């Protein structure tokens, strides 16, 4: 018999999962590390694909009017915002699904359901008579993919000891967020390819006479989902997760730190995902002379790629609040520079400042997620708060494009929108400093 109660050298994987003890270092090294890392790898791949699907619409929306559709700026910004609204709201529910159905089971279902809107949009984009209301339905269904983040993070955190959770969550979230960059990078390439015509359908004609294949972005995603479903079925596990009791939920919502951390995370991730989905339309509006299709991926790539380092660096110096505070200050300065670039019609300044902004949102989100397990020592409550903050933060994908659309419609300029977002960041800096980063805050996280 091994030193772990209920386990022996011949214990099955299922038995090991039933006696999961990640805080026991000997158990972790003997059994836990391999299983946890395997689940992390597959979970990260599935989450990356989910982010690709969630933000796919932003990559094709700028092409619609050029192939025969007739949507207003307000309608395009609204369509771009809808997946964010649905994804964020879905996260409030998806957080609890791994505990009810099992992490593996729920990941498989949540990944498979993304096939529905992809197939529908592939058909709709090939018909210029498709109504605005039909697109609203399909992009709303795309938004469900954004909810996968909460269930993924809620599930994967239970596999790792607290000392390694910041890095694990940073990898899962950071690489998962790279899906935003991946879709912006690959979609322009895929929709220009004619090799799929016999399978996926013919081209759409642009106003300048060029040919593109918007449906390719959807069909390539369908093929990838089918492949990922195989890996989920073969390599992921249903780890017994404690059920969230009404008492635990009430405790979360009555704890002021739940709301404070939600505010802080929203400033970082809300900015990241909101600017990601709105940036292409913003450039098309403010800098129409700039060909931006092959550069749209860069900001999300930097922000998502650096996120694991935000969690890792916070673990390294054992101070996530300091990294969060410094990142927020940088976001504040970068946002002012972005606004100045717009007002001066200076694209290099505008885009350079946006890259810095994306970089610092990555540090902020990685660091702020690392703070949560140290503020909420109980594993179940920490998982609940992580899922809740991730849900609310995702509303940035709805509010940022909507604020941009409102600003253009109301003032004819986007400046008012940036004034609001900059003020929000300033308030977040004060909140972070007062409750966590100052010397006498009483909480080291």
Q: DSSP letter string over 135-190?
A: HHHHHHHHHGGGGHHHHHHHHHGGGS-HHHHHHHHHHHHHHHHHHHHHHHHHHHHH
User: Counting Cβ atoms within 10 Å, is residue 222 exposed (0-12), middle (13-18) or buried (19+)?
Assistant: middle
Residue with tokens 């050029």: 66
- Euclidean distance between CA atoms 436 and 445, whole angstroms: 7
* Residue 370 resides in a domain: yes
Specify the CATH number for the domain of residue 292: 1.20.1250.20
The domain of 375 spans 13-437
Cβ(199)–Cβ(219) below 8 Å? yes
Give the up-direction half-sphere exposure of residue 281: CA atoms within 13 A in the CB hemisphere: 32
445 located within any domain: no
* Per-10-residue mean pLDDT, the chain, length 445: 62 84 87 92 96 90 87 86 91 87 95 95 90 93 92 88 80 85 89 80 82 90 95 93 69 90 95 90 90 85 87 87 96 97 96 96 90 83 82 90 91 95 97 94 85
Average pLDDT, the chain: 89
Q: How far apart are CA 426 and CA 330, in angstroms?
A: 11
**Do 54 and 111 touch, CB atoms closer than 8 A?**
no
**In the block, which residue shows the tokens 């001066």?**
344
Helix/strand/coil for 128? coil
0.75 exceeded by pTM: yes
> Is 166 among the domain residues?
yes
Residues 33-54 have pLDDT tens digits of 999 999 999 999 999 999 999 9
Residue 8 resides in a domain: no
Assigned domain for 200 exists: yes
Q: Scanning the structure block, which residue is given the tokens 């940022």?
A: 400
Cβ atoms < 10 Å from Cβ of 252? 22
Q: Contact 402/81 with Cβ under 8 angstroms?
A: yes
Q: Is residue 29 part of a domain?
A: yes
DSSP 266: I
Total tally of structural domains belonging to the chain? 1
Q: Is residue 3 part of a domain?
A: no
**What sign for the dihedral angle of Cα 117, 122, 123, 124?**
positive
Q: Is the backbone of residue 256 left (phi > 0), alpha (psi -120 to 50) or beta? A: alpha
Pairing outcome for strands 204-205 and 211-212: antiparallel
Whether residue 1 is contained in a domain is answered as no
Question: Which pLDDT value is given to residue 1?
Answer: 37
Structure tokens at 344: 């001066």
Rounded Cα gap, residues 290 and 194, in angstroms:
25
């Amino acid at each position: 018999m091994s030193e772990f109660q209920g386990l022996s050298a011949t214990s099955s994987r299922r038995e090991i999962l039933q006696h999961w003890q990640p805080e026991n270092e000997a158990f972790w090294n003997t059994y836990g590390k391999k299983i946890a890392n395997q689940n992390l790898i597959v979970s990260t791949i599935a989450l990356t694909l989910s982010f690709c699907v969630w933000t796919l619409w932003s990559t094709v929306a700028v092409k619609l009017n050029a192939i025969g559709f007739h949507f207003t700026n307000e309608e395009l910004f609204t369509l771009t915002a809808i997946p964010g609204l649905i994804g964020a709201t879905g996260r409030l529910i998806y957080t609890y699904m791994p505990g009810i159905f099992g992490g593996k089971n729920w990941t498989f279902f949540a990944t498979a359901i993304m096939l529905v809107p992809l197939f529908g949009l592939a058909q709709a984009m090939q018909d210029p008579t498709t109504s605005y209301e039909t697109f609203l339905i399909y992009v709303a269904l795309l938004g469900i993919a954004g909810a996968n983040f909460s269930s993924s993070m809620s599930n994967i955190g239970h596999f790792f000891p607290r000392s390694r959770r910041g890095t694990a969550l940073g990898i899962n979230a950071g690489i998962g967020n790279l899906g935003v960059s991946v879709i912006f990078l690959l979609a322009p390439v895929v929709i220009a390819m004619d090799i799929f015509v016999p399978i996926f359908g013919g081209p759409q004609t642009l106003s300048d006479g060029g040919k593109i294949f918007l449906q390719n972005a959807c069909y390539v995603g369908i093929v990838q989902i089918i492949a990922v479903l195989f890996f989920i079925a073969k390599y992921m596990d249903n780890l017994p997760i404690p059920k969230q009791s009404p008492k635990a939920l009430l405790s979360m919502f009555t704890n002021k730190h739940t709301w404070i951390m939600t505010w802080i995370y929203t400033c970082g991730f809300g900015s990241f995902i909101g600017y990601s989905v709105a940036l292409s339309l913003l450039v098309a509006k403010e800098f129409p002379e700039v060909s931006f299709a092959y550069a749209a991926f860069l900001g999300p790539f930097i922000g998502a790629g650096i996120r694991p380092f935000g969690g890792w660096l916070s673990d390294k110096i054992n101070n996530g609040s300091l990294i969060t505070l410094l990142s927020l200050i940088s976001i504040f300065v970068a946002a002012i520079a972005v606004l100045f670039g717009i007002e001066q019609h200076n694209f290099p300044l505008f885009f350079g400042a946006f890259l810095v902004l994306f970089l610092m949102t990555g540090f902020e989100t990685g660091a702020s997620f690392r703070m949560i397990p140290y503020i909420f020592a109980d594993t179940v409550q920490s998982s609940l708060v992580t899922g809740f903050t991730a849900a609310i933060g995702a509303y940035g994908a709805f509010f940022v494009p909507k604020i941009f659309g409102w600003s253009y419609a109301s003032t004819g300029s986007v400046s008012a929108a940036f004034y609001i977002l900059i003020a929000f960041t300033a308030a977040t800096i004060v909140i972070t400093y007062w409750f966590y980063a100052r010397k006498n805050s009483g909480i080291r996280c």
